[in-house]
Amino acid sequence: MDWRRVLIGRPLKDREGTERKVNVFQGLAVLAPDALSSVAYGTQEILIMLSYAGMAALWFSLPISATLVLLLAFLVYNYRQIIAEYPNGGGAYVIGRDTLGPGIGLIAGAALLIDYTLTVAVSVTAGVAALVSAFPRLGHWTVWVSVLFTLFIMVVNLRGTKESAQLFAFPTYLFIAMVLIMVGYGLIHPEFAIARPASVLSPTTSALAVGPLLLLRAFSSGSSALTGIEAISNGVPIFRNPAPGQARTTLMFLGILLGAMFFGTSLVANRLGLHPNAAHAFPVTVLQLMAGRLFGRGVYFYLLSFVTMAILAIAANTGFAGFPQLASTMARDQWMPRMFLSRGDRLVYQNGILVLGGFAILLIILFKGNTAALIPLYAVGVYMSFTIAMVSLVKKRWAQNADGRRVTTIITAGLGAVLTTAVVFISVITKFTEGAWIVVVAIPLMLWGFRSVRRHYRMVADILRMEDLSGKPTPKQLVVIVPVASINQMTMGVLSTALSMNPDELLALHIATSPEREQQMTERWKQWNPDSRIKLVVVQSQYRAVLRPMVRYIDHLSRLFAPGRVIVVIPELLVEKRWQNILHNHMGFALEAIMVFRRSIAVMIVPYRLPHKSSDSPPG
Amino acid sequence: MDWRRVLIGRPLKDREGTERKVNVFQGLAVLAPDALSSVAYGTQEILIMLSYAGMAALWFSLPISATLVLLLAFLVYNYRQIIAEYPNGGGAYVIGRDTLGPGIGLIAGAALLIDYTLTVAVSVTAGVAALVSAFPRLGHWTVWVSVLFTLFIMVVNLRGTKESAQLFAFPTYLFIAMVLIMVGYGLIHPEFAIARPASVLSPTTSALAVGPLLLLRAFSSGSSALTGIEAISNGVPIFRNPAPGQARTTLMFLGILLGAMFFGTSLVANRLGLHPNAAHAFPVTVLQLMAGRLFGRGVYFYLLSFVTMAILAIAANTGFAGFPQLASTMARDQWMPRMFLSRGDRLVYQNGILVLGGFAILLIILFKGNTAALIPLYAVGVYMSFTIAMVSLVKKRWAQNADGRRVTTIITAGLGAVLTTAVVFISVITKFTEGAWIVVVAIPLMLWGFRSVRRHYRMVADILRMEDLSGKPTPKQLVVIVPVASINQMTMGVLSTALSMNPDELLALHIATSPEREQQMTERWKQWNPDSRIKLVVVQSQYRAVLRPMVRYIDHLSRLFAPGRVIVVIPELLVEKRWQNILHNHMGFALEAIMVFRRSIAVMIVPYRLPHKSSDSPPG
């Protein structure tokens, strides 16, 4: 009956919402997949970009990866400081808001909302790409498989994601192990050292020949590999005590693993001369290419495909954890619609989950399920939030008393901020026409939206406020209008209700579609003579419509009285079975929609439910 | 602003609805296209069916066509009698209902509704096939071109089709002329007599070898060529006086023209050895093949393609004239939903037009825009209505006084009924698995539907009836419940309205999501002390939901009082701009939907419209 119950599960009470705390091992499984899964597309995006300059240019993936690993080290070092400074977690929005003011907080908030949406879209499409590498037949359905996949993760999140640590540990660590085994085997095994094509061996092409712009674009594409490392600093409170210590240790492990996996993948891809533009009908990912070359299209290849897909699904899940949380925080600050505040039956912010799922699906459809096409949008938002977190750290330390580590932190965080700002600019400039412009346009629009929302809520609160409680409700004289189609039991019932309301004026309004019907109604009314307080008003309709003249008359009448005095009381026949609804014209609801919304007139629906008669059941 | 006005035109007043009467020449243009356009697919469907037995079998199209022309003569003769007997027109539904009783009338009604829907689907797809023959590139989009085409005819009909005679005459007569010229040229020109392949020359294959079943199936497919000849007898009143005489003359001309065009096409198709299964990527129609062979792919070919499409569009239009008219007649008899009775701004039965368009589009999509696939469904309904018309004629004449023509009519109409019944059986049996089963299943379902609708209306009328007018409306003591989220101006306004209703009990219902909020509310209420008649009720919510406990409480309360005494009065904030609606949760409308539909409790919405403040406009 209730399909929502089946899909999403039974409602949970408030007290069922206590979270289990995690240790370092579990924390890595819950918070690291977003970052670690980037290995599945980071190297690949660099190679795709470089391949535009020919095979020889692929070598440049090594210096680019090395630069990114350096940037990673910086980010990990600084985020460990951020964990110490902000032990309650909270993303760049909260940190920025509290340290640098609401304006900066909003910029971080906008960047993060975009980031979470892209995390979902990029992870899902990359996961589906891994699947398509293994099962090329799926290639024709990339977009729809991605959409279904997103819907699946959405439903899982609507059910609530309490069991995540246990569920996520296995694929996460399996992914780490499989990538590291592959990297180790690919680096050590002598057979493959010979197999690599000569052109990829050394920098035979100069950086100038490849073009600095292309190198910067490849760097910007690769910078997507570092997205997600902020997740641990956002999620400090989920760790066991001492939470900041555990989070810092987890972040260090994440940095080491991500660095090794990412740089290792780039190294091996180079050694094997892999490039993702091979003549396949559908993109084959670099990780799959690598597994295929090293171990053949066997168990390892297929297992890696599934594990890659699994960790990317978990990464998408991170977006579903972050977006609704951030949206609710911003809604509490009145920057976002109130609906993001309401937690549903399963204690999750279901509106945030639904909106995120909707936007992610929109992106997937617009970008045809192509990860590479989504990447240009990705880095801008993430690195903007990195920058804001770093600057906040600098400001916070600046205000503190001098101690041994104060200057070091200010310098490293400041340097980090400069680097991440550089990535933002590089990404915006080199990828502007490929999609970065969308983010550049979206962020100011979102800021304007946030402010409009806040302004509206403020205005409503101002208007509705009743500070001194001196005003009291006072009764007024009511004018009640009852539309009457004919004289029958339903009419009698609704007129009874209208009489009970003790109105000053009670009008029965009949719309006559012909002079004959007018005469018929007035005569029958006279015969009936229901009550001296009820006045019959008949209005002629030139067009066969009933609704329009009715609205016009009520509108006309309501102008004669003070606002709030006119009430329209409408009978509505309720049928027993759903199909019977098409047999009635539901004038009442149509009239209500017009009167309430367009004219601000109070409308009362008096339902007349038909009794369920056995003779009404269909013949056997 | 009002897109409907742009699409459909200004509203028309009742007195603008007088129709122009037509003469024979115009009448043929308005009422004949349905029948005449069958030439565009009749011969073709016979050939497609025969081609399954090989090229040699195509010769059998000649005896089959001859038999159908004989049947045509019978039908024309008998329908001329029907025009004389039923000078007020009315289709098989009215004739059957008035002569043979409502049961038979309903069968005819069901058959005709199916027939009209198929007329639209078959004509549109055949028209698009003519277009595709000329422009093969369109072939990939057959379904969508057909759907768009249907929507276009639908909109034209929603505007009203008063100007039809002038508009339709030109393409109709051009089509007649072009087909007859082609037939004449193809029969006379000696060049083509030599070109025909030997195998098609003579009945080298015996009927037994082809198989009697296949011949019957080909006959059944071809019988679709006679559909539409009933249109003139249905439309007698649109002729100038003496209407029956003019209609009879028109029908005679239609019979002669249709016979000549249909048999001529079959003859020439045989002489030229045309068969529609030629190796084309997309079906090329027989008329187009013929024009191509006789005159080359020149002006004649393209003009014929367009004229064929035009006359098929006009034929589809016949469906749009017939279905809404019949649906409204049956709705007046309470067999169909009341909505088919309401005429819209343009004096047309817009609901019938919309429903017909919807079903036709559904058929087109389900049958992938393939005329040949739709044909098996077509003949059954049409010939059932033919049969009912003939039998009605027999019965009517039987009851009359003996005169010279009485026996002749009874014999010819009786024989006609036997023939058309035979066609129904042949079609059902030979085409059962190809789609005729749909009609066989649909007609009993529709009869069951008609009776359920009538039973429901009868039941409602029984329940609502107030014969003696002795009952009078009497006031009752009201229990009014006002949901209150907090104490503010809106609360005060809605409580004022509730107080004005002079209730026996007035409860302000607050749902507290935490014990703190409960305490806060009760304290602030005590401070406010609005009115001694208003009682505050606070209900604790365990699940964060507000709506559910509110519904549960109201439901509980309403059981304590007599039905109709409990009224829920809900404040609803109305915003100035549409986008602001997403900023509010619209609890009022949600509550109303639950209370009115699920619990049959009277609900009143008291709108509180926010004043439009300039400070609310977005920043420049």
- Three state DSSP letters for A323-378: HHHHHHHHHHCCCCCHHHHCCCCCCCCHHHHHHHHHHHHHHHHHCCCCHHHHHHHH
Which tens digit of pLDDT belongs to each residue from A246-302? 999 999 999 999 999 999 999 998 888 887 654 444 557 888 888 888 888 888 989
Q: How far is CA B378 from CA A203, B320, B384, B385, in A?
A: 74, 16, 11, 12
The two tokens of residue A560 are 């004669």
Minimal C-alpha gap between A62 and chain B (Å): 48
Closest CA to B426 of B217, B193, B160: B217
Q: Classify A21-274+283-456 by CATH class.
A: mainly alpha
Collect all residues of chain B within an 8 Å Cβ-Cβ radius of residue A554: none
Q: Which chain B residue's Cα is nearest to A533? A: B473
Q: Count chain A–chain B contacts defined by CB atoms under 8 A.
A: 229
Q: B473–A460: do the CB atoms touch at under 8 Å? A: no
Confidence check: pLDDT of A586 > 60: yes
Q: Which chain A residue's Cα is nearest to B17? A: A543
Closest CA to B524 of B491, B568, B551: B491
Q: B531–A472: do the CB atoms touch at under 8 Å? A: yes
Q: B502–A604: do the CB atoms touch at under 8 Å? A: no
Collect all residues of chain A within an 8 Å Cβ-Cβ radius of residue B524: 469
Q: Looking at the partner chain, which of B13, B499, B574 has a beta carbon nearest the beta carbon of A600?
A: B574
Would you call the peptide bond into A11 cis, given omega within 30 degrees of 0 as the criterion? no
Collect all residues of chain A within an 8 Å Cβ-Cβ radius of residue B9: none
Provide the pLDDT for residue A548. 83
Q: B345–A11: do the CB atoms touch at under 8 Å? A: no
Collect all residues of chain A within an 8 Å Cβ-Cβ radius of residue B469: 487, 524, 527-528
Q: A488–B465: do the CB atoms touch at under 8 Å? A: yes
The amino acid at residue B569 is V
Provide the pLDDT for residue A336. 93
CB B252 within 8 A of CB B55: no
Residues in chain B: 620
Collect all residues of chain A within an 8 Å Cβ-Cβ radius of residue B456: 575, 580, 583, 616
Report d(CA A447, CA A450) in Å as an integer: 5
Q: B615–A343: do the CB atoms touch at under 8 Å? A: no
CA of residue A506 relative to chain centroid, distance: 51
The two tokens of residue B204 are 């080298």
**Range(s) within chain A of domains with CATH label 1.20.1740.10:** 21-274+283-456
Minimal C-alpha gap between B208 and chain A (Å): 46
Q: Looking at the partner chain, which of B14, B339, B448 has a beta carbon nearest the beta carbon of A544?
A: B14
Confidence check: pLDDT of A531 > 90: no
The amino acid at residue A308 is T
Find all residues with CB under 8 Å of B585, minimum gap 6, and list them: A338, A339, A342
Report d(CA B390, CA B411) in Å as an integer: 11
Report d(CA A273, CA A267) in Å as an integer: 10
Q: Looking at the partner chain, which of B478, B530, B564 has a beta carbon nearest the beta carbon of A473?
A: B530
Confidence of residue B155 (pLDDT cuts 50, 70, 90): confident
Phi (first) and psi of residue B417, to 5 degrees = -60, -40
Collect all residues of chain B within an 8 Å Cβ-Cβ radius of residue A605: 592, 596, 602-604
The two tokens of residue B481 are 């419940």
Provide the pLDDT for residue B175. 94
Provide the pLDDT for residue A250. 93
Residue with structure tokens 């209150």? B484
The mean pLDDT value for A52-58 works out to: 79
Q: Classify A479-612 by CATH class.
A: alpha beta
- Least confident span in A576-585, B61-70, B80-89, B519-528: A576-585
CB B108 within 8 A of CB B374: no
Provide the pLDDT for residue B279. 45
Report d(CA A615, CA A301) in Å as an integer: 66
Collect all residues of chain B within an 8 Å Cβ-Cβ radius of residue A585: 338-339, 342
Report d(CA A43, CA A62) in Å as an integer: 9
The amino acid at residue B125 is T
Q: A500–B14: do the CB atoms touch at under 8 Å? A: no
Report d(CA B107, CA A365) in Å as an integer: 48
Q: A543–B489: do the CB atoms touch at under 8 Å? A: no
The mean pLDDT value for B559-571 works out to: 87
Find all residues with CB under 8 Å of A353, minimum gap 6, and list them: A154, A157, A158, A320, A323, A324
Provide the pLDDT for residue A19. 56
The two tokens of residue A128 are 């589906």
Would you call the peptide bond into A242 cis, given omega within 30 degrees of 0 as the criterion? yes
Burial of A171 (0-12, 13-18, 19+ CB in 10 A): buried
- pLDDT above 70: percentage of residues in chain A: 88
Minimal C-alpha gap between B562 and chain A (Å): 13
Confidence of residue B210 (pLDDT cuts 50, 70, 90): low
Q: Looking at the partner chain, which of B471, B501, B607 has a beta carbon nearest the beta carbon of A600?
A: B607
The two tokens of residue B300 are 């004649």
Q: B500–A475: do the CB atoms touch at under 8 Å? A: yes
Q: Looking at the partner chain, which of A459, A585, A603 has a beta carbon nearest the beta carbon of B616?
A: A459
Collect all residues of chain B within an 8 Å Cβ-Cβ radius of residue A476: 496-497, 500
Provide the pLDDT for residue B110. 95
Q: Which chain A residue's Cα is nearest to B469? A: A528
Find all residues with CB under 8 Å of A61, minimum gap 6, and list them: A43, A46, A47, A50, A218, A222, A266, A269, A270
DSSP conformation class of A580: G
Q: How far is CA B103 from CA B330, B335, B387, B408, B414, in A?
A: 13, 11, 15, 28, 20
Q: B465–A472: do the CB atoms touch at under 8 Å? A: no
Mutation pick from B2, B14, B472 vs chain A, by most beta carbons of A within 10 Å, is B472
Collect all residues of chain A within an 8 Å Cβ-Cβ radius of residue B602: 497, 604-607
Collect all residues of chain A within an 8 Å Cβ-Cβ radius of residue B605: 592, 596, 602-604
Confidence of residue B11 (pLDDT cuts 50, 70, 90): low
Residue with structure tokens 């306004």? B493
Provide the pLDDT for residue A205. 54
Mean pLDDT of chain A: 84
Minimal C-alpha gap between B141 and chain A (Å): 20
Residues in chain A: 620
The mean pLDDT value for B29-58 works out to: 85
Provide the pLDDT for residue B614. 44
Burial of A507 (0-12, 13-18, 19+ CB in 10 A): buried
Provide the pLDDT for residue B278. 46
Q: Looking at the partner chain, which of B12, B455, B492 has a beta carbon nearest the beta carbon of A473?
A: B492
Residue with structure tokens 């304290």? B523
DSSP A154-186: HHHHHT--TTHHHHHHHHHHHHHHHHHHHHHHH
Phi (first) and psi of residue A507, to 5 degrees = -110, 130
Phi (first) and psi of residue B545, to 5 degrees = -60, 150
DSSP B55-91: GGGGGGHHHHHHHHHHHHHHHHHHHHHHHHH-TT---
The amino acid at residue A573 is L
Q: B585–A339: do the CB atoms touch at under 8 Å? A: yes
Report d(CA B462, CA A596) in Å as an integer: 33
The mean pLDDT value for A595-614 works out to: 78
Report d(CA A603, CA A595) in Å as an integer: 7
Characterize the bridge pairing of strands B602-609 and A602-609.
antiparallel
Confidence of residue B41 (pLDDT cuts 50, 70, 90): confident
CB A371 within 8 A of CB A143: no
Which tens digit of pLDDT belongs to each residue from A535-578? 999 998 876 678 888 888 988 888 888 778 899 999 888 887 77
Q: Give bridge partners of residue A535 from the DSSP assignment.
A: A507
Q: Give bridge partners of residue A512 from the DSSP assignment.
A: A540
Collect all residues of chain A within an 8 Å Cβ-Cβ radius of residue B495: 473
Confidence check: pLDDT of A471 > 80: yes
The mean pLDDT value for B399-419 works out to: 83
Which tens digit of pLDDT belongs to each residue from A336-376? 998 898 776 666 788 999 999 999 999 999 998 888 888 88
Q: How far is CA A515 from CA A361, A520, B31, B292, in A?
A: 57, 9, 35, 62
Which tens digit of pLDDT belongs to each residue from B498-537? 999 989 999 999 999 888 889 999 999 998 888 888 999 9
Q: A497–B457: do the CB atoms touch at under 8 Å? A: no
Report d(CA B576, CA B59) in Å as an integer: 74
Q: A13–B543: do the CB atoms touch at under 8 Å? A: yes
Minimal C-alpha gap between A584 and chain B (Å): 7
Provide the pLDDT for residue A503. 92
Closest CA to B59 of B70, B69, B51, B68: B51
Q: How far apart are the first and last CA of chain A?
A: 24
Residue with the bigger pLDDT between B18 and A174: it is A174
Report d(CA B118, CA B325) in Å as an integer: 16
- Determine the CATH number of domain B479-616: 3.40.50
Residue with the bigger pLDDT between A86 and A203: it is A86
Mutation pick from B486, B490, B587, B606 vs chain A, by most beta carbons of A within 10 Å, is B606
Q: B463–A11: do the CB atoms touch at under 8 Å? A: no
Which tens digit of pLDDT belongs to each residue from A109-121? 999 999 999 999 9
- pLDDT above 90: percentage of residues in chain B: 33
Confidence check: pLDDT of B82 > 80: yes
Provide the pLDDT for residue A20. 61
Assigned superfamily of B19-456 = Amino acid/polyamine transporter I (1.20.1740.10)
Minimal C-alpha gap between B543 and chain A (Å): 5
Collect all residues of chain B within an 8 Å Cβ-Cβ radius of residue A618: 448, 452
The two tokens of residue A430 are 């080199």
DSSP helix/strand/coil, B355: helix
Minimal C-alpha gap between B514 and chain A (Å): 10
**Range(s) within chain B of domains with CATH label 3.40.50:** 479-616
Instruction: Give the number of other Cβ atoms within 10 Å of residue A593's Cβ.
Output: 12
Phi (first) and psi of residue B401, to 5 degrees = -65, 150
Q: How far apart are the first and last CA of chain B?
A: 25
Confidence check: pLDDT of B205 > 80: no
Which tens digit of pLDDT belongs to each residue from B595-619? 877 777 889 989 888 766 544 444 4
Provide the pLDDT for residue B407. 82
Buried b or exposed e, range A571-587, using 16+ CB within 10 angstroms: bbbbbeeeebeebbbeb
Report d(CA A21, CA A24) in Å as an integer: 10
Collect all residues of chain B within an 8 Å Cβ-Cβ radius of residue A527: 469
Which tens digit of pLDDT belongs to each residue from B337-392? 988 987 766 667 888 999 999 999 999 999 988 888 888 888 898 999 999 999 99
Provide the pLDDT for residue B282. 52
**Range(s) within chain B of domains with CATH label 1.20.1740.10:** 19-456
The mean pLDDT value for B272-290 works out to: 70
Mutation pick from B535, B543, B575 vs chain A, by most beta carbons of A within 10 Å, is B543
Confidence check: pLDDT of B221 > 60: yes
Collect all residues of chain A within an 8 Å Cβ-Cβ radius of residue B491: 466
Q: B14–A493: do the CB atoms touch at under 8 Å? A: no
Report d(CA B393, CA A76) in Å as an integer: 94
Q: Which chain A residue's Cα is nearest to B573? A: A460
Q: Which chain A residue's Cα is nearest to B12? A: A543
Collect all residues of chain B within an 8 Å Cβ-Cβ radius of residue A552: none
Collect all residues of chain B within an 8 Å Cβ-Cβ radius of residue A600: 574, 607, 609
